Structure formats: C-alpha cells, structure tokens
C-alpha cells in the first residue's frame, strides 16, 4: 500500500469530520489497512450488537451512506443512519460485514509504515492541527502496544456520534 495515496483520503476525512485528532487518523489508517477482522469475535455477537445499535439509532443524518477508508476504495464505512433512513436490509448488511471480515486485508507492518509516513508529515508541518509532540507521544504508545485497534477520541465521539460498519466496496452494490 503506497503512502502517496493516503493524503487525499486523510484530507477528505478531515473535511468531513473536523473534530478528528491524531488518534482518529490512526483509527482511519488502522481500519483502512487492517480491515474489520478485529471487530468480529463471533457472528452471533456481531449481529446482536449491530441489531441493538441499529434499533436505538435515529434514521437520517447528514453523513453519506458510504465513505472510503482506503485510497483504492476497496474498503469503507457504511454509515448506519442513512442506511436506516433508506430502508435498507439489516440482515444483508450483517452478511456483507461478515464477508468483509473474512477477506485478507493488511499487516501490522503495513500499518506501521503508513503511520510513520503520517507522523513524519505532521512533524514536517503538513497538518498543523496535529501537534508534533502529541503525534510523537501517541506514536511511542502505539509502538509500546504493538499498533493495536483503538476507539475514536472523546471529542470525535461527542461531535460525530459515529455509527458505522466496515464494508468492502465491491459488496456495496449488492444493497
């Protein structure tokens, strides 16, 4: 996966989600490289959690139905509010998400390389909203913990109220 393809994707996500901090960029890169496998311990648990969240979620929202999270568009986030507003089939989404999780995605080494590129770009001043010292501190934490999956930042959670699932781009046409 080539780093030169990530800047436009990151900038698009930052424009859509201005509350992003470096942790949220890392989550975007993590999901884009590693895919959703880490999120699905069991099909039954995944289905139950999605159903519960979906039932409580209001339909609508201003976000698009799908947002690419890889430069090649092979993987994206299906936003649940517009999915629900469009009356789409939840059981189809469950199956498509499980299929997405079964596919091979990337490696921790690829993630480390992409994060190192992002970190260097921040240190070089490309994105001033991410202070180099905070990116450096977060990078040390990532290295110490083996580049794990993380939750969105509290600021992002409050501002964006994210409600999505990861889906392979080629499956979206089946909705």
The confidence score (pLDDT) of residue 33 equals: 96
| Summary mean pLDDT of the chain | 92
Q: What is the rounded distance in angstroms from the CA atom of residue 136 to the CA atom of residue 120? A: 9
If we measure between CA atoms, which residue out of 5, 29, 16 comes closest to residue 150?
29
55 is in which domain, residue-wise? 3-168
Q: What is the pLDDT of residues 43-82, one digit of tens each?
A: 899 999 999 999 999 998 889 999 999 999 999 999 999 9
Domains in the chain, number: 1
Q: Is the pLDDT of residue 174 over 70?
A: no
* Higher-scoring residue by pLDDT: 173, 7: 7
Q: What is the rounded distance in angstroms from the CA atom of residue 25 to the CA atom of residue 135? A: 10
Q: Is the pLDDT of residue 145 over 90?
A: yes
Structure tokens at 29: 């890169």
- Any domain includes 31: yes
- Any domain includes 174: no
Element (H, E) at 50: helix 43-56
The 3-class SS string of 134-169 reads: HHHHHHHHHHHHCCCCCCCCHHHHHHHCCCEEEEEH
Sheet containing 66-68: which strands, arranged edge to edge? 66-68, 75-79, 164-168
Q: Is the pLDDT of residue 3 over 60?
A: no
- Any domain includes 175: no
The confidence score (pLDDT) of residue 42 equals: 86
Q: How confident is the model at residue 39 (pLDDT cuts 50, 70, 90)?
A: low
- Any domain includes 173: no
Q: How confident is the model at residue 4 (pLDDT cuts 50, 70, 90)?
A: low
Q: What percent of the chain has a predicted confidence (pLDDT) above 90?
A: 85
pTM for this one?
Answer: 0.92
Q: Is the pLDDT of residue 170 over 70?
A: yes
- Any domain includes 72: yes
Q: What is the average per-residue pLDDT within 125-144?
A: 94
């Amino acid at each position: 996966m080539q780093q030169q393809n990530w800047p436009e994707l990151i900038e698009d996500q930052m424009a859509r989600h201005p509350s992003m901090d470096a942790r949220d960029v890392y989550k975007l890169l993590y999901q884009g490289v590693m895919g959703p496998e880490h999120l699905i311990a069991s099909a039954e648990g995944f289905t139950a959690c999605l159903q519960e969240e979906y039932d409580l979620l209001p339909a609508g929202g201003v976000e698009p139905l799908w947002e690419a999270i890889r430069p090649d568009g092979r993987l994206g986030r299906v936003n649940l509010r517009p999915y629900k507003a469009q009356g789409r089939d939840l059981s189809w989404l469950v199956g498509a998400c499980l299929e997405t999780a079964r596919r091979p995605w990337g490696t921790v080494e690829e993630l480390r390389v992409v994060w190192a590129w992002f970190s260097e770009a921040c240190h070089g001043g490309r994105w001033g909203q991410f202070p180099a010292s905070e990116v450096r501190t977060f990078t040390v934490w990532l290295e110490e913990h083996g580049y794990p999956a993380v939750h969105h930042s509290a600021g992002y959670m409050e501002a964006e109220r994210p409600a999505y699932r990861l889906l392979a781009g080629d499956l979206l046409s089946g909705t």
